[in-house]
Structure 1
Amino acid sequence: MINYTKIKHGNDLLNFLIEQSDYATIDDLKVQLNLSRRGVFYVLKRVNEALIADDLEPITNILGAGYYIQSETKKSLLEHFSNAQATIDQLSKYQRCQLIIWELVNHQALSLTHLAARFNVSKHTVISDLKQVRQTLAAHRLEIVQGTTGKFLSGSEITQRNWVLEALNDRSSILYSQIDINPSRLIAINTKIHKLEKITGNYFTDDALSTLDEFILWFLDRIKDPQNQLPDSPSRRTTVDSSSIDWSINFLAANDIQNYSEAYFLGRIINTSQFYRVNKTDGLIQRIFPIAREIIDRFNAASSASISPDKLELTLSTHLLSAFYRSKFMIPYHHPNLEQITEGYQELFSFTKYAIRPFEKFINGQLSDDEIALIALYFGGELRSIENEQTVQTDVLVVCSSGIGTSYILQQQLTQRFPNIAFSQPLSVLQFKNHDLDHIKLIISTIKLTVPLEIPVVTVSPLPNHRDWETIGKALVNAHLSDINFNEARINALLDIISNYARIEDFDGLTGALHGYLNQSKHPHQAETDETLSSLQRLLPTAHIKYSTDVLSWQQGVKIALSPLLHDGLIHTHYLEQVINLTKKNGPYMVLGDGIMLAHATQNDGVNDLGMSLLLCQHPMTIQIEGHTPAKKIQIIIGLAPVDATSHLAALSQLLQKIQDVAWVKAIKATHSVAEISHLLEVAQM
Structure 2
Amino acid sequence: MNKRQCEIIEILLGERRFVTASELAERLAVSRKTIYRDMQDIGNHCSAYRLTKKENNGYLLEIWEEEESAHSDQFEHPNERRLDLLLFLLSIAPCKTSIQKISERYFVSQSSILNDFKHIEKKLVPYGIRLSRTNEGTFISGDQFSLYRLMAVIIESYLTQIGDPFCQYDIPDSIKDIQVKNGRLAEIKQILHEFQEEQDLLLDQPYYLTLFCSLLSIIEKQAHHLQLFPNEEIIYEQIDDSSAIYPMVRSLAEKLEKHFSFQLKHYEMLNLYYILKAYKLNSRFLLNQQSEVLLNNQVIALADQLISRVSRNSGYRFTEDRELRERLTMHLHSMVYRLNHQIYIINPILKSIKTNFSNIFQLVRFSANELMEEGIYDKHLTDEEIGYITLYFQISYDDRFVNQIPILIECTSGVGTSHMLSEKIRKNFPNIHINKIIAQERIKQSDYEDVELVISTVKTHSISDKPTILVSPILNEDDKYKIDQFIKDYYKNQVIIYNR
TM (norm. structure 2) is 0.52
CA–CA distance in structure 2, aligned partners of residues 245 and 98 of structure 1: 42
Question: What per-residue deviation string (whole Å, max 9, x for no partner) do you get for residues 576-618 of structure 1?
Answer: xxxxxxxxxxxxxxxxxxxxxxxxxxxxxxxxxxxxxxxxxxx
Question: What per-residue deviation string (whole Å, max 9, x for no partner) do you get for residues 624-669 of structure 1?
Answer: xxxxxxxxxxxxxxxxxxxxxxxxxxxxxxxxxxxxxxxxxxxxxx
Residues 365 and 425 of structure 1: CA distance in aligned 2, closer, same or farther (over 3 Å): closer
How is 1:358-397 mapped onto 2 (pairs within 5 angstroms)? 358=371, 361-385=375-399, 394=407, 397=408
Residues 161 and 260 of structure 1: CA distance in aligned 2, closer, same or farther (over 3 Å): farther
CA–CA distance in structure 2, aligned partners of residues 456 and 237 of structure 1: 46
Work out which of the two has the higher radius of gyration on C-alpha atoms and give 1 or 2.
1
**Count of matched residue positions in the alignment of Structure 1 and Structure 2:** 362
Residues 335 and 375 of structure 1: CA distance in aligned 2, closer, same or farther (over 3 Å): same
Q: Give the alignment partner of residue 305 of structure 1, picking from 300, 310, 317.
A: 317
Is 1:262 the counterpart of 2:247? The answer is: no
Q: Equivalent pairs: percent with the same residue?
A: 17
Match of residue 292 from structure 1: 303
CA–CA distance in structure 1, aligned partners of residues 344 and 321 of structure 2: 28
Q: Give the alignment partner of residue 219 of structure 2, picking from 207, 218, 221.
A: 221
Deviation at 1:323, TM superposition (A): 3.5
Alpha carbons 1:244, 1:267 under 8 Å: kept: no
Deviation at 1:286, TM superposition (A): 1.7
Q: Give the alignment partner of residue 475 of structure 1, picking from 482, 487, 498.
A: 482
Match of residue 576 from structure 1: none
How is 1:333-348 mapped onto 2 (pairs within 5 angstroms)? 334-348=346-360
Q: Give the alignment partner of residue 178 of structure 1, picking from 179, 185, 192.
A: 185
How is 1:569-588 mapped onto 2 (pairs within 5 angstroms)? none
How is 1:137-216 mapped onto 2 (pairs within 5 angstroms)? 139-142=128-131, 154-155=140-141, 162=148, 166-167=152-153, 172=167, 178-181=185-188, 206-207=204-205, 210-211=208-209, 214-215=212-213
Deviation at 1:292, TM superposition (A): 1.2
Code of the aligned partner of 1:102: L
Match of residue 283 from structure 1: 294
Alpha carbons 1:316, 1:378 under 8 Å: kept: yes
Deviation at 1:456, TM superposition (A): 5.0
Alpha carbons 1:403, 1:426 under 8 Å: kept: yes
Deviation at 1:374, TM superposition (A): 1.9
Match of residue 402 from structure 1: 413
Tell me, which stretches of 5 or more residues in structure 2 are unaligned? 1-68, 93-100, 109-115, 157-165, 170-179, 491-500
Is 1:420 the counterpart of 2:431? The answer is: yes
Alpha carbons 1:328, 1:363 under 8 Å: kept: no
Alpha carbons 1:248, 1:263 under 8 Å: kept: no
Larger RCO, structures 1/2 (Cα 8 Å, 6+ apart):
2
CA–CA distance in structure 2, aligned partners of residues 294 and 473 of structure 1: 38
Code of the aligned partner of 2:317: A
Residues 288 and 127 of structure 1: CA distance in aligned 2, closer, same or farther (over 3 Å): closer
Code of the aligned partner of 2:129: H
SS in 2 for 1:426: strand
Residues 304 and 438 of structure 1: CA distance in aligned 2, closer, same or farther (over 3 Å): closer
CA–CA distance in structure 2, aligned partners of residues 248 and 208 of structure 1: 21
CA–CA distance in structure 2, aligned partners of residues 258 and 100 of structure 1: 24
Q: Give the alignment partner of residue 125 of structure 2, picking from 132, 135, 139.
A: 135
Code of the aligned partner of 1:221: I
Code of the aligned partner of 1:299: V
Deviation at 1:345, TM superposition (A): 1.8
Aligned Cα RMSD in Å?
Answer: 5.7
Residues 419 and 290 of structure 1: CA distance in aligned 2, closer, same or farther (over 3 Å): same
Q: Which has the higher helix share?
A: 2
Is 1:102 the counterpart of 2:114? The answer is: no
Is 1:351 the counterpart of 2:382? The answer is: no
Alpha carbons 1:140, 1:159 under 8 Å: kept: no
Deviation at 1:348, TM superposition (A): 1.3
Question: What per-residue deviation string (whole Å, max 9, x for no partner) do you get for residues 459-488 of structure 1?
Answer: 241xx6xxx3x44543344446289xxxxx
Alpha carbons 1:232, 1:259 under 8 Å: kept: no
SS in 1 for 2:225: helix
